[in-house]
Amino acid sequence: MADDIKILTGNYAAGYAAYSAMAQVVAAYPITPQSPVVELISKLVEEKKLNCNFINVESEHSALAVCINASLAGARVFTATSANGLALMHELLHWAAGSRLPIVMCCANRGMAAPWTILNDQQDSISQRDTGWIQLYCEDNQEIYDTVIQAYKIAESLYLPVMVCYDGFILSHRSMPVKIETQKKIAEFLPEYQPLVEFNPDNPQNINPVVLSEKMFNKNNELKNGYMEFRKKLQDTLLEALTIIPQINNEYLQKFNRCYGDGLIKSYKLNDAEYLIITLGSLGAEALEAIELLRKKNIKIGLVNVKTYRPFPKTKILEILKNKKTAVVFEKNISYGFEGALSADIKAAVYEINNAPKIQSVICGLGGRNVSFYEIADTTEKIIKNEISDNREYWLRTD
């Protein structure tokens, strides 16, 4: 397939990215709005355009189990899911991260049941933010394609799983122009996967045995890690990702002339900004228009769209928030019993800043409720003018 521009949905952009990266094992289980991702890959396999083991499974739990074992065996793997399907994977999300496996999985973000909805918010992936996976969020379909490609290099450089998140229906089913690169060019950017463990029948190994709390000597009198040491190594590598992700984002820019901010955040009109709108995912596109409306009213405001949510880019966020007056965080999730998850993370970071800005969480768009740039601009202006003030979170358009 020559590199060309296609009109693709976000789901097809994700599927073509798995094709471009030459995924060797794909585990497939349908769930709205993700299903077209694996349907496209199935078609490419059937047409013999992708040399891949395409495995139909009986549940999302099984899908990730297949990915874990295929990755352990040395294959580059891919899967995709949404909402309650991602929740069903919860146990194995921990297994994948703890096993240090470079699995790439797309999450077409959808609201969680009950009550049932097939429409978008980000509660599903946000609920899994503490499982040890890198989480990257996308704003449009080209970004989905490019981020999946970068995700493989990030994952295989650090031996960590990566979840590429994009808003269901808003992106998953909306068509946009997407440039698809040749597999040859992608291979020049993305080297073959080199697994940590080489299976050899002449040298059998235990994978993920039970470990004790303290370090212990093995039969060869070698001191081996206890449980806490494994956890600390996972944390240290996630923090290392804050350096690796921008490097790979820049490499991608040099190779394909496309990048997404610095790989951690994307920003707009920050130079003279006194106020900020902060978003995650496709809300960034609406917020961009809101910035223009507010600038016409002589409100000096800029935009921060968080691309890398885990690991959290704390240092970068702190640099931006210094000397700002107010930051309004629009987010499609709620950390029940507290406030929006993104704003809570930002508030936890800014305690280090003297005269920290006001951080206002705005919960919006849950279950697919539309959020327009007019509403973002109007709500932001009212918060700046203290016409809306809530020490917790403000719920947009609810009675």
Query: What is the rounded CA–CA span in Å between residue 234 and residue 97?
Result: 8
Q: What percentage of the chain exceeds 70 in pLDDT?
A: 99
Enumerate residues 6+ apart whose C-beta is below 8 A from 96.
64, 67, 68, 71, 103, 132, 133, 161
* Both structure tokens of 39: 């349907």
Q: Which of 19-28, 203-212, 279-288, 312-321 has the lowest mean pLDDT?
A: 203-212
Confidence of residue 3 (pLDDT cuts 50, 70, 90): low
Local confidence band at 25 (pLDDT 50, 70, 90 cut-offs) = very high
Could you tell me if 71 and 83 are in contact, meaning their C-beta atoms sit under 8 angstroms apart? Answer: no
Q: Which of 89, 94, 163 is nearest to 122 (CA)?
A: 163
Residue partners of 163: CB distance under 8 A and separation at least 6: 105, 106, 107, 125, 128, 133, 134, 135, 136
Alpha-carbon Rg for the chain, nearest whole angstrom, is 21
The domain spans of the chain are 4-189, 265-395
- At 299 the pLDDT is 98
| pLDDT tens for each residue of 349-364 | 998 888 889 999 999 9
Residue type, 144: I
Q: What is the pLDDT of residues 334-349, one digit of tens each?
A: 999 999 999 999 999 9
Give me the chain's average pLDDT, please. 95
Residue 1 has pLDDT above 60, yes or no: no
What's the mean pLDDT in 53-64?
97
State the DSSP string of 324-372: -SEEEEEES---TTS--HHHHHHHHHHTTSTTPPEEEEEE--GGG----
214 falls in which pLDDT band (50, 70, 90)? confident
123, 129, 176: which is closest to 368 by C-alpha?
123
Q: Are 89 and 81 in contact (CB under 8 A)?
A: yes
Sequence-ordered list of residues with C-beta below 8 angstroms from that of 71, at least 6 positions apart, any chain? 77, 96, 99, 101, 102, 103, 195
pLDDT of residue 23: 98
Contact 155, 97 (CB under 8 A): no
In the chain the first and final C-alpha atoms are separated, in Å, by: 52
Please report the pLDDT score of residue 199 as a whole number. Answer: 79
pLDDT above 60 for 114: yes
Q: What is the pLDDT of residues 130-179, one digit of tens each?
A: 999 999 999 999 999 999 999 999 999 999 999 999 999 999 999 999 99
- pLDDT-derived band of residue 263, with 50, 70 and 90 as boundaries? very high
| pLDDT the model gives residue 215 | 86
Tell me if 4-189 shares its fold with 265-395: yes
Tell me: pLDDT of 2 over 70: no
pLDDT, one tens digit per residue, over 228-238 is 999 999 999 99
Residue 118: Cβ-neighbour burial (10 angstroms; 0-12, 13-18, 19+)? middle
Q: Which of 292, 294, 280, 289 is nearest to 326 (CA)?
A: 294
CATH value of 4-189 in 3.40.50.150, 3.40.50.970, 2.60.370.10, 3.30.70.870: 3.40.50.970
Two structure tokens written together for 348:
């936890």
pLDDT at 220: 84
Beta bridge partners of 395: 363
DSSP notation for 131-144? SS-EEEE-SSHHHH
DSSP 237-277: HHHHHHHHHHHHHHHHHHHHS---TTSSEEEES-TT-SEEE
132 neighbors 94 (Cβ within 8 angstroms):
yes
Residue 106 has pLDDT above 60, yes or no: yes
pLDDT at 268: 97
CA nearest neighbour of 74 among 192, 185, 216: 192
The percentage of residues in the chain with a pLDDT greater than 90, rounded to a whole number, is 87
Q: What is the pLDDT of residue 397?
A: 85
Residue 222 has pLDDT above 60, yes or no: yes
Domain formed by 265-395, architecture: 3-Layer(aba) Sandwich (3.40)
pLDDT recorded at residue 399:
66
More confident residue, 197 or 160: 160
- Alpha-carbon distance of 279 to 265, in angstroms, equals 10
In sequence order, which residues have a C-beta less than 8 Å from that of residue 28 and are 6 or more positions away? 38, 41, 42, 54, 55, 56, 57, 63, 79
Q: What is the pTM of this model?
A: 0.96
- Helix extents (H) in the chain: 10-20, 36-46, 60-72, 83-88, 90-98, 123-126, 141-158, 183-189, 227-256, 283-296, 314-321, 341-350, 373-384
Q: Calculate mean pLDDT across residues 212-223.
A: 85
